[in-house]
Amino acid sequence: MGVLDYILAGIMEALTGNPALVLGPIVLSWPVLLVALGFLTGVLIGATPGLSGPFAMALALPILISIFGFTPDALLPVLGFLVGIMKGATVGGAVPAILFNTPGTPDAFMTTLDGYPMAKKGQGGKALRVAHFASVSGDTFSDIVLFVCAPFLAISIEAFLGLPEKAALMILSLSFVAVVVGNDTWKGIMAACFGLLAASIATGTDSYPRLSMGSDVLAAGLPTIAVVIGVLVVGEIFTSFEDMWTSAREKRPEPAAADPGDSTLTMAKRRRLLPFIGTSMTIGTVIGALPGIGTTLAAALGYTAGRKMHKGATRFGEGAPEGIAATEAANSAVSGANLIPALSLGIPGNVAAVFIILAADTIGGFNPGPSVFRSTADEVNPELVVAFALFTLMVAANLMNWITGAWFMRLLGGLIRIPKQVLLPIVLLLTITSVYVQSAKMSDVYVLLFFGAAGYLMRRTGVPILPFVIAYILTDPLETTIRAAFEASGSDPWFLFGGVIAPAFLACAAAIVLGAGWLRGTPAPVPAPAPASEKETTID
């Protein structure tokens, strides 16, 4: 099969492969239906103060697997729903930032700087339109870069890197994530090592499951979804509970929603925003392609670049639409680019990519990494068809975003009023239930709560979460690759230092760890705990 055949097969697989509804020549497939549902859910979740996209992905994954099972037909609908949530939540996050002055995620804080002043001036609807236009432009651009870069990167890696080089690349990525996420290199390294240790329980090649302490529960291995959701979601819920408990939020009035008011955004105004959007989406895409660097940095850099470019009457921070456009284009451009390392290397770059990889691992039939893009003339690579089907679903989500996103954002602006104090306990119950129904074992719930407590303590002590999660996900491929490279080298103890590329990767890893202070600057001083009204729940 040629590349065009694979692209066509992927498109057909996504659009017609698993029909949910057939009306004559019109076929509505489950993957497309799930993309639409995921997108609407994502906008709803993103627009709800206190929730974020990764929260929804964490909750949705066990539910989706319960619905669709572990069959090959389940893969695209599940991935489609997750992609839909990812994109929907990205645009939805601007709604509370603009109308309630409540950033749902740290990157949305920049949106409040100009969004809320615009809303107070009766231009909330216009601000939402600007946010949507910039967000969807950034997202689309980032996806195009993903479609072009991921296959080339994967093919290059497959062609030029052997087993030791791949192992060294994984070590480099892990070092990078451990160092750049959070504010403390040593704590990042500790989190990554903790992830490696947790993932090594009950795995290995010996007949006795290592580190299982003779326990039947541990001998079966830690349930990956319970561990990841525990650290990411339950830990964040407990942290938010404590913030609300220590603050006097319940005695304060709920922030009043500003009236959306005027919502027109003419073509001329859109054209004036394009330079800001173009600059920011380029920044966001570059930042997003690096594993571990989140949307917050992209939003901050995009906003700063926009402020330098801006020469209008309304200054940044006083209700300039260009400020919203610069922020939203940058943070939305991260989402697609974050999948470049995930799809081409199998290395998750952010929480959303973690759930995409987790879904693929759990269901089977698709192993994100360089082998996905392997193409030979004499045999069909089904994973490549799935990859192009996934790209098709991302395009479908973008089309939906362009067509309905702005309308849906405005609609939700008037609907979301659920207090966080009520919402988060319900989310905790839903999380416990969705983990339990997977295996029907309370031991999974105890694992969830144990890692939830670990996640809470890590947050409170400044130990970053993402290195733990990424190390946990990467452990199996890393160990397998290292074992295979060692055996292929004839048990050479210096197998990771042969050739040029692997030592170069390892030297880069060492340089990143040693040069962390320069990369990040000195650690940020400890901020005073903000009241819960000023903090929002985020697992980004």
Partner 1 sequence: MNRSAKLCDCVIGLCGLGAALLILLVWIPADIDTGVIDVWRRSVRIGDAMLPTFAALGILISAAAIGLRALLNRPGTGLQTISLVFLAWSAVILALSITLMMFTGPALTALWYGSEVPYRRLVTTAPWKYSGFVLGGAALVACFTALVRHRFSWRNVLIGLIAALLIALMYDLPFDNLYLPPNGDV
Q: Which is nearer to partner 1, 350 or 475 (CB)?
A: 475
CB of 99 to partner 1, least distance (A): 24
Q: How far apart are CA 358 and CA 294, in angstroms?
A: 19
Q: How far apart are CA 237 and CA 428, in angstroms?
A: 7
**186 interacts with partner 1 by CB under 8 A:** yes
Which among 1-9, 79-87, 136-144, 485-493 is the span making contact with partner 1, rule CB under 8 A? 485-493
**292 interacts with partner 1 by CB under 8 A:** no
Q: How far apart are CA 386 and CA 230, in angstroms?
A: 29
Q: What does the per-residue mask of binding to partner 1 show for 422-461, with x meaning CB under 8 A?
A: x-xxx-xxx-xx--xx-xxxx--x---x-------x-xxx
Name every residue whose Cβ is closer than 8 Å to that of residue 158 and which is 6 or more positions away in sequence. 370, 371, 373, 374
Considering only 244, 287, 289, 466, the residue that binds partner 1 (CB under 8 A) is 244
Considering only 1, 149, 197, 309, the residue that binds partner 1 (CB under 8 A) is 197
Which among 207-215, 257-265, 316-324, 383-391 is the span making contact with partner 1, rule CB under 8 A? 207-215
Q: Which is nearer to partner 1, 155 or 217 (CB)?
A: 217
**Is residue 533 within 8 Å of residue 99, measured between CB atoms?**
no
Interface with partner 1 in residues 12-71 (CB under 8 A): 66-67
Considering only 48, 475, 533, 537, the residue that binds partner 1 (CB under 8 A) is 475
Helix (H) or strand (E) holding 471: helix 466-488
- For 6, 19, 370, 385, 500, the CA distances from 13, given in Å and listed in that order, are 10, 10, 21, 8, 41
Q: How far apart are CA 255 and CA 477, in angstroms?
A: 47
Which among 96-104, 127-135, 209-217, 400-408 is the span making contact with partner 1, rule CB under 8 A? 209-217
Considering only 27, 272, 486, 503, the residue that binds partner 1 (CB under 8 A) is 486
CB of 204 to partner 1, least distance (A): 4
3-state class (DSSP) for residue 352? helix
Helix (H) or strand (E) holding 21: strand 19-23
Q: And the tokens for 539?
A: 């697992």
Q: Which is nearer to partner 1, 208 or 407 (CB)?
A: 208
Q: How far apart are CA 116 and CA 95, in angstroms?
A: 10
Determine the size of the site formed for partner 1 (CB under 8 A): 67
Burial environment of residue 180 by CB neighbours within 10 A (0 to 12, 13 to 18, 19 or more): buried
DSSP 534: G
Could you report how far apart the first and last alpha carbons of the chain are, in Å?
39
Q: Which is nearer to partner 1, 15 or 297 (CB)?
A: 297
- For 252, 307, 325, the CA distances from 283, given in Å and listed in that order, are 38, 14, 13
Which among 93-101, 143-151, 276-284, 417-425 is the span making contact with partner 1, rule CB under 8 A? 417-425
Which among 10-18, 149-157, 234-242, 371-379 is the span making contact with partner 1, rule CB under 8 A? 234-242
Residue 506 exposure: Cα atoms within 13 Å on the Cβ side? 15
Q: Which is nearer to partner 1, 66 or 156 (CB)?
A: 66
HEC-encoded secondary structure of 52-90: CHHHHHHHHHHHHHHHHCCCHHHHHHHHHHHHHHHHHHH
Q: What does the per-residue mask of binding to partner 1 show for 137-166, with x meaning CB under 8 A?
A: ------------------------------
Query: In which residue are the tokens 């990411």 written?
Result: 232
Q: What does the per-residue mask of binding to partner 1 show for 101-140, with x meaning CB under 8 A?
A: ----------------------------------------
Considering only 31, 49, 125, 182, the residue that binds partner 1 (CB under 8 A) is 182
Considering only 1, 144, 158, 204, the residue that binds partner 1 (CB under 8 A) is 204
**349 interacts with partner 1 by CB under 8 A:** no
- Helices marked H in 161-234: 163-180, 185-199, 216-219, 224-229
Interface with partner 1 in residues 500-529 (CB under 8 A): 522-526, 529
CB of 454 to partner 1, least distance (A): 12
CB of 168 to partner 1, least distance (A): 14
CB of 424 to partner 1, least distance (A): 8
Name every residue whose Cβ is closer than 8 Å to that of residue 406 and which is 6 or more positions away in sequence. 128, 129, 132, 133
Q: Which is nearer to partner 1, 2 or 493 (CB)?
A: 493
**Phi, psi of 26, deg, nearest 5:** -90, 125
Q: And the tokens for 374?
A: 């392997």
Q: Which is nearer to partner 1, 209 or 382 (CB)?
A: 209
Point out which residues bind partner 1 (CB under 8 A).
66-67, 182-184, 186-187, 189-190, 192-194, 196-197, 200, 204-206, 208, 210-213, 238, 241-242, 244-246, 250, 421-422, 424-426, 428-430, 432-433, 436-437, 439-442, 445, 449, 457, 459-463, 475, 479, 482-483, 486-487, 491, 522-526, 529
